[in-house]
Amino acid sequence: MLEKIKSSLTAKIILSVAALMVLAFGGMSWYAVNETTQTVKELETRWTENFTDYLDISLQHYMELNDLDGLQHFLEEGSRAKGLKMVSIVSTGKTIKYSSDPDKVGSPLDDPEVRDLLNKAEGSRSIVNLQKDGVSITAVPIVAKEVCAGCHDHRPTGKYLGTTIFSHDVSYINLHLQEVFWEGMILFALSGLTVLAALYYLLRSLVLKPLFRLVDDAKVISDGDLSHQFKLESHDEMGKLAEHLSTMQDHLKDAISEMAGVTNSILRTMQDLDSASEVLVGLSAEQSSGAAEQAAAVHEVTTAAQQIATTSSQISGNVESIRTMAADAYEACIRGRDDVRRAVAGMGMVKDKVRGISEAAVELGRKSHKIGGIVSIIDEISEQTHLLALNAAIEAAGAGEHGKRFGVVAAEVRRLAERTVEATAEIKSLIEEIQESTNETVMITERGANIVLEGTSKVDLIGDTLETLLHRVDQTKEASKEMAIATRQQATAGEQLVITITDINSVAVQVSRAAEKVEKNAMRLKSVAAELKKLTEKNELRNQFKT
């Protein structure tokens, strides 16, 4: 059933219209019933208010007259009105004082819902209502007025005195509302069926019948008869649809003719594609083989580059060691140069001291020669003095007694002269020894000075050699530093070379794989071209349709 509805446009339209009618009439019925219900409730509320006013006026009248029996009689007679079931006056202690049922007078209220209703009326000082089992119960609070002061002592105006309760039957109202509801539903159903029948007839004759005719014509054309024409004479949308379908039919004829030409072109293209596929297969095979050889060569180059990078790293380490050793040698040369400079300064001081000693020795020789001359003079004087003393002794001996004293003096002078000669001889001997020692000292100091000069020249030569060595070591240090930088750059370049060659290797592998894929795709393209050629040769599109 559901499948038939899905395949039938008529059923879809009827169901859609029925759904719309259900919504429309349902809304209208709900609105009518709701309005009726509201009207009935308003009437009921208005009746309750009017009855409440009447009851309040009557109650006030009997209480002003203090006619309690008349009040009881009024309540009993009023309960006989149609629909009114009970009227009672309840005190603040929830005890029935007066009632349309005399048997309940003096008894307390037992119904808890009614007691809650009284509490609400007492708290709000307004009329409250309760619906229970088809009965409407209304509670009206009794509030003290000025006229109530005569009977109710110590009850000021506005004080709560009690509650008037009355109930009336509203079941007949609900029953009437249900009757109205069902009558509306029956009327809605009859109206809906009538409208649906009319709509079905109109849709069938005005809309669906031309549409079914167009469907039949389209089926004939879809079976291959493009010469069939759409036959529908109408000026509405169905007529326009028929015109558009006819135009589409003409365009379809032209498209089929063009498709036949395109098919022939595709056939020729497939022949060219077949030839090109064979050439592409051969080129792909050659490219795949070359790519494989290239990948192998790149792999060998990668291995060599890795070895070069490793060797560069080792060279960099060795050059760094050389640079460290050159720096140490440079510092040692600086210390040696400083030591040589201090030695040169010391040799200069020694040379100055030796020169001073030599000059002092020469001066000592000159003065010793002078002392020798003086000693010679003293020696000559001593000899002359000795001769004079000898002559004086001779003269004293010749003088006899008178010359004895002079002879003693002459003897003393002669001994002094002899001692002087001996002393001068010793001094002369010492001077000669001093001269010999002085001469040896001069010769030694001369040789020392020469040695010092030779040592100074050699030390200067050593200083020059150290300066040259220091310059060479400094050049070696700078060269080793540059060599270290170059080797580090070479190592970095080697690593970059390895990375680059690795990338080239990856690219070569990808090229090789791509060449293999191209070869496979070329083979597949060739087979596809062959299949497409077969299909094109079998496909006679023009003959499938009658134009």
Q: Where are the domains of the chain?
A: 2-205, 318-497
Q: Class for domain 2-205, per CATH?
A: alpha beta
**Residue 270: pLDDT band with limits 50, 70, 90:** low
Work out the angle at residue 530's Cα, subtended by the Cα atoms of residues 524 and 532, and round it to the nearest 5 degrees: 100
**Encoded amino acid at 358, one letter:** S
Chain-centroid distance, C-alpha 145:
82
Handedness of CA 130, 135, 136, 139 (dihedral sign): negative
> Among 84-88, 269-273, 340-344, 354-358, which range has the highest average pLDDT?
84-88
Q: How far is CA 170 from CA 37, 43, 120, 253, in A?
A: 13, 12, 22, 79
Least confidently predicted of 25-34, 258-267, 327-336:
258-267
Q: How far is CA 282 from CA 224, 288, 529, in A?
A: 45, 10, 17
Take residue 368 and report the two structure tokens written for it. 């010793």
**Gap between the Cα atoms of 500 and 374, Å rounded:** 105
**Residue 286: pLDDT band with limits 50, 70, 90:** low
Residue 109 has pLDDT above 70, yes or no: yes
**Gap between the Cα atoms of 301 and 120, Å rounded:** 105
Q: How far is CA 370 from CA 151, 363, 364, 367, 422, in A?
A: 182, 11, 10, 5, 19
- In CATH terms, 318-497 corresponds, of 3.20.20.140, 1.10.645.10, 1.20.1050.10, 1.10.287.950, to 1.10.287.950
Mean pLDDT (the chain) is 72
What is the arithmetic mean of pLDDT over 423-447?
75
Same fold, 2-205 and 318-497: no
pTM over 0.75: no
**Gap between the Cα atoms of 203 and 238, Å rounded:** 13
- Sequence-distant (≥ 6) Cβ neighbours of residue 102 within 8 angstroms: 72, 76
**Residue 51: pLDDT band with limits 50, 70, 90:** confident
Q: Which helix (H) or strand (E) holds 111?
A: none
**Bridge partner residues of 87 (DSSP):** 166
Q: 83: phi > 0 → left, psi -120 to 50 → alpha, else beta; which? A: left
Burial of 429 (0-12, 13-18, 19+ CB in 10 A): exposed
- 110 near 94, Cβ under 8 Å? no
Residue 94 has pLDDT above 80, yes or no: yes
**Residue 98: pLDDT band with limits 50, 70, 90:** confident
Q: Which of 528, 524, 527, 522 is nearest to 288 (CA)?
A: 522
Q: Which of 234, 261, 258, 260 is nearest to 245 (CA)?
A: 234
Q: How far is CA 299 from CA 312, 498, 502, 514, in A?
A: 20, 11, 8, 18
Residue 153 has pLDDT above 70, yes or no: no
> For tokens 């005890």, what's the residue?
95
Q: Which helix (H) or strand (E) holds 464?
A: helix 404-538
